């Protein structure tokens, strides 16, 4: 197991967003977290990525307690994430955005008097990721001028530029046209193989994407794990079908 | 006209100014160059990190009082020692102040910096025996590069050796700041300015970088403050008053915080415009207020924003 969460509870005042969630992620897995709105998916993502400290329970990454250590330290340890609502640096170009991630990964951020333009390791690392995600030709375009699909790709690509061991994708295809969804998923799966990402965890509402790419699915409901298993088992689980997947799965 | 050509012309004109321009206008260049150094630092915080300080007069004051203390109390007259000491004390004061301030952003950061600025102002105003209170402290004529220039009349000293000394400090400070903003460190600051949440998830420690930018900007402000001392020969608390902090933010906005040289241009226009408006009307702040309002409305990118051509999407795609 490279990532383990045990007995996670998260309270917002009286409201219990997570109620004893446990999960374990092994190397080589593509795990999807599904659930209706309010199931606790976003809270779980924020706890796993160190943004929120759990009220109880712990998150361990390679046997190290990383509960609530913050996204910056977690990213440096090897867990990266992308966001449901696309997050870019509006005034930075595609290349600069990816360079920032590579600078962080290589620990070059403390170089006050070094020339960024002359830093070949940073430039080549950024260009490699830009090409991998099909953004090479747009490398000089400021992020704010990119179409929405490319912004989403850039958000994900910058997380990949950290060369993380685990990547957590919060609805990687949300806000993207149906035609672009498969292309984005294919791109990020092939990119993860190319750069050696050991596990992908995604939160996703699109069941075609979930069942099409996952090795394992974790269904959340009212802050608890409703089911945890391979896609076939999840599809056959009546509780999951009734509360999470609905008719769409039955029609498959 | 290319940026490099404009820069070369501006530098050439600045070098030649003492030879061809009236002494009065040459002397006005001294506060311009001192403020320009301070503004290069302020803009690292403002334009590159996204934090607006309303208390940077604190560091102008630290630099100026450092020079005053060294020359009039400790009898140290070397300008190089004064600048190094001002930079070191600026960093020393900025380290704890910055550690507290960068935990907050937007108006909270601005108000905290203003509060610290006012604490320092009150300190230099009220500790009369130490600082001379509202009368201030003399900033005796410093030696430049080890050369004592006592025999020269004050105006000749300021419009000659001290002018070129200030210009050299400004050029050096500009080169160093240019390197900083084009370094990997500078790129990390820009990510924090644009989107701190995203920067954090890329492993960039936002608070640490903000603190570093704060300390560097304070060092620049302190060096600028030390340069302000010799022309007046006296340092008083008005240099650390909140209106000074407002003035340097005004200069940055006037020139344009999105451009590297914008604040330098802002300092130049501010100094000469202020001098001209003050000579024409007594209520010059009213005129300046109107100018600031006009800039915010008509040219949010400042004067540099009117000139700097932003690359179009098409151009950058090709």
Q: Between A92, A103, A140, which is nearest B184 by CB?
A: A103
Q: How far is C-alpha B303 from the geometric centre of its chain's CA atoms?
A: 17
**Closest approach of chain A CAs to the CA of B301, in angstroms?**
14
A154-195 tens-digit pLDDT: 999 999 999 999 999 988 887 777 777 888 888 889 999 999
Tell me which chain A residue has its CA closest to the CA of residue B200: A72
Among candidate residues A161, A138, A29, the one with its CA nearest the CA of residue B198: A161
Take residue A39 and report the two structure tokens written for it.
Answer: 């199931």
pLDDT of residue B317: 38
DSSP string, B225-241: HHHHHHHHTEE-GGGGS
Q: Between A80, A100, A142, which is nearest B187 by CB?
A: A100
Asked whether B260 and B307 are in contact (CB, 8 A), the reply is: no
B115-173 tens-digit pLDDT: 999 999 999 888 888 888 888 899 999 999 988 887 889 899 999 999 999 999 999 99
Chain A residues whose CB is inside 8 A of the B194 CB are 89-92
Tell me which chain A residue has its CA closest to the CA of residue B48: A91
Tell me what percent of the residues of chain B surpass a pLDDT of 70: 96
User: How many Å from the N-terminal Cα to the C-terminal Cα in chain B?
Assistant: 22
CA dihedral for A27, A29, A219, A209, sign (positive or negative): positive
B51-110 tens-digit pLDDT: 999 999 999 999 999 999 999 999 999 999 999 999 999 999 999 999 999 998 888 999
Chain B residues whose CB is inside 8 A of the A104 CB are 188, 202-204
Looking at every residue in chain B, the average pLDDT score rounds to: 90
Range of the domain at B167: 23-241
**Closest approach of chain A CAs to the CA of B190, in angstroms?**
8
Tell me which chain A residue has its CA closest to the CA of residue B194: A89
B206 touches chain A (CB under 8 A): yes
Tell me what percent of the residues of chain B surpass a pLDDT of 90: 70
Give me the phi and psi of B274, to 5 degrees please.
-60, -45
B143-159 tens-digit pLDDT: 999 888 878 898 999 99
**Closest approach of chain A CAs to the CA of B281, in angstroms?**
41
Chain A residues whose CB is inside 8 A of the B213 CB are none
Q: How far is C-alpha B256 from the geometric centre of its chain's CA atoms?
A: 14
Is residue B167 in a domain? Answer: yes
Asked whether A96 and B190 are in contact (CB, 8 A), the reply is: yes
Asked whether B257 and B48 are in contact (CB, 8 A), the reply is: no
Asked whether B234 and B136 are in contact (CB, 8 A), the reply is: yes
**Closest approach of chain B CAs to the CA of A40, in angstroms?**
21
B203 touches chain A (CB under 8 A): yes
Q: Between A93, A101, A116, which is nearest B202 by CB?
A: A101
The count of structural domains within chain B is 1
Chain B residues whose CB is inside 8 A of the A99 CB are 184, 187
Asked whether B79 and B143 are in contact (CB, 8 A), the reply is: yes
Beginning with the edge strand found earlier in the chain, give each strand of the sheet holding A79-82 in spatial order: A79-82, A166-170, A199-203, A30-34, A216-221, A224-229
Q: Which residues contact A115 (CB under 8 A, 6 or more apart)?
A: B179, B182, B183
Asked whether A159 and A200 are in contact (CB, 8 A), the reply is: no
CB contact under 8 A, A109 and B198: no
Is residue B35 in a domain? Answer: yes
Take residue B192 and report the two structure tokens written for it.
Answer: 């924090």
Q: Between B183, B188, B198, which is nearest A87 by CB?
A: B198
CB contact under 8 A, A104 and B202: yes
Residue A137 CA to residue A147 CA, distance in Å, equals 14
Rg (CA), chain A: 18
pLDDT of residue B1: 62
**Closest approach of chain B CAs to the CA of A190, in angstroms?**
21
B175-208 tens-digit pLDDT: 999 999 999 999 999 999 999 999 999 999 999 9
CB contact under 8 A, B182 and A117: yes
Take residue B311 and report the two structure tokens written for it.
Answer: 């690359």
Tell me which chain B residue has its CA closest to the CA of residue A46: B201
Chains A–B, number of C-beta pairs less than 8 Å apart: 117
CATH number of A3-251: 3.40.50.300
- Contacts for B267-270 with beta carbons within 8 Å, 24 or more apart? B267/B32, B267/B35, B267/B36, B267/B39, B268/B32, B268/B36, B269/B303, B270/B35
ipTM: 0.89
Q: What burial class does residue B187 get, using C-beta atoms within 10 Å of its C-beta: 0-12 exposed, 13-18 middle, 19+ buried?
A: buried
Q: How confident is the model at residue B312 (pLDDT cuts 50, 70, 90)?
A: very low
> CA–CA distance from A201 to each of A45, A215, B75, B316 (Å)?
9, 10, 67, 35
User: How many Å from the N-terminal Cα to the C-terminal Cα in chain A?
Assistant: 32
B198 touches chain A (CB under 8 A): yes
Residue A158 CA to residue A164 CA, distance in Å, equals 11
Is residue B144 in a domain? Answer: yes
């Amino acid at each position: 197991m490279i990532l383990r969460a045990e007995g996670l509870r998260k309270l917002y005042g009286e409201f219990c967003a997570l109620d004893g969630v446990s999960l374990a992620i092994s190397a080589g897995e593509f795990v999807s977290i599904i659930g209706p709105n309010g199931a606790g998916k976003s809270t779980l993502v924020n706890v796993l990525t160190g943004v929120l400290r759990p009220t109880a329970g712990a998150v361990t990454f390679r046997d190290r307690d990383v509960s609530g250590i913050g996204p910056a330290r977690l990213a440096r340890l090897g867990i990266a994430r992308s966001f449901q609502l696309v997050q870019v640096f509006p005034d930075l170009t595609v290349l600069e955005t990816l360079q920032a991630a590579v600078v962080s990964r290589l620990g070059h951020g403390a170089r006050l008097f070094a020339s960024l333009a002359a830093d070949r390791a940073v430039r080549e690392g950024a260009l490699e990721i830009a090409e991998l995600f099909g953004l090479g030709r747009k490398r000089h375009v400021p992020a704010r001028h990119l179409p929405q699909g490319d912004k989403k790709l850039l958000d994900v690509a910058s997380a990949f530029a950290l060369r993380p061991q685990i990547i957590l994708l919060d609805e990687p295809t949300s806000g993207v046209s149906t035609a672009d969804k498969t292309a984005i998923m294919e791109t990020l799966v092939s990119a993860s193989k190319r750069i050696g990402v050991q596990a992908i965890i995604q939160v996703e509402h699109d069941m075609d994407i979930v069942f099409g790419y996952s090795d394992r699915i974790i269904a959340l409901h009212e802050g608890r794990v409703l089911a945890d298993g391979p896609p076939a088992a999840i599809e056959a689980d009546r509780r999951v079908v009734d509360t999470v997947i609905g008719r769409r799965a039955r029609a498959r | 006209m290319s940026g490099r050509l404009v820069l070369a012309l501006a530098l050439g004109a600045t070098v030649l100014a003492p030879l061809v321009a009236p002494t009065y206008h040459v002397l006005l260049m001294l506060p311009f160059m001192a403020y320009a150094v301070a503004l290069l630092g302020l803009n690292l915080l403002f334009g590159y990190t996204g934090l607006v300080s309303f208390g940077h007069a604190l560091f102008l004051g630290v630099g100026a009082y450092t020079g005053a203390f060294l020359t009039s109390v400790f009898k140290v007259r070397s300008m190089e020692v004064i600048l190094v000491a001002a930079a070191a004390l600026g960093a020393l004061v900025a380290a704890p102040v910055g550690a507290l301030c960068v935990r907050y952003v937007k108006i909270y950061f601005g108000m905290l910096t203003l509060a610290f600025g006012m604490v320092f102002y009150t300190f230099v105003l009220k500790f009369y025996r130490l600082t001379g209170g509202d009368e201030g402290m003399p900033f005796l004529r410093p030696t430049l590069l080890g050369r004592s220039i006592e025999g020269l009349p004050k105006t000749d000293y300021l419009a000659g050796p001290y002018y070129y000394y200030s210009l050299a400090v400004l050029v050096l400070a500009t080169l160093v700041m240019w390197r900083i903003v084009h370094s990997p460190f500078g790129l990390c600051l820009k990510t924090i300015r644009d989107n701190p949440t995203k920067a954090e998830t890329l492993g960039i420690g936002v608070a640490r970088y903000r603190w570093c930018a704060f300390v560097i900007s304070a060092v620049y402000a302190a060096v600028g403050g030390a340069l302000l001392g010799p022309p007046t020969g006296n340092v008083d608390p008005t240099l650390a008053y909140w209106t000074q902090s407002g003035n340097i933010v005004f200069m940055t906005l006037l020139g344009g915080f999105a451009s590297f040289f914008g604040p330098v241009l802002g300092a130049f226009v501010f100094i000469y415009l202020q001098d001209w408006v003050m000579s024409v009307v007594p209520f010059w702040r009213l005129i300046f207020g109107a100018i600031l309002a006009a800039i915010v409305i008509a040219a949010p990118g400042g004067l540099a924003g009117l000139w700097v051509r932003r690359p179009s999407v098409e151009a950058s795609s090709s």
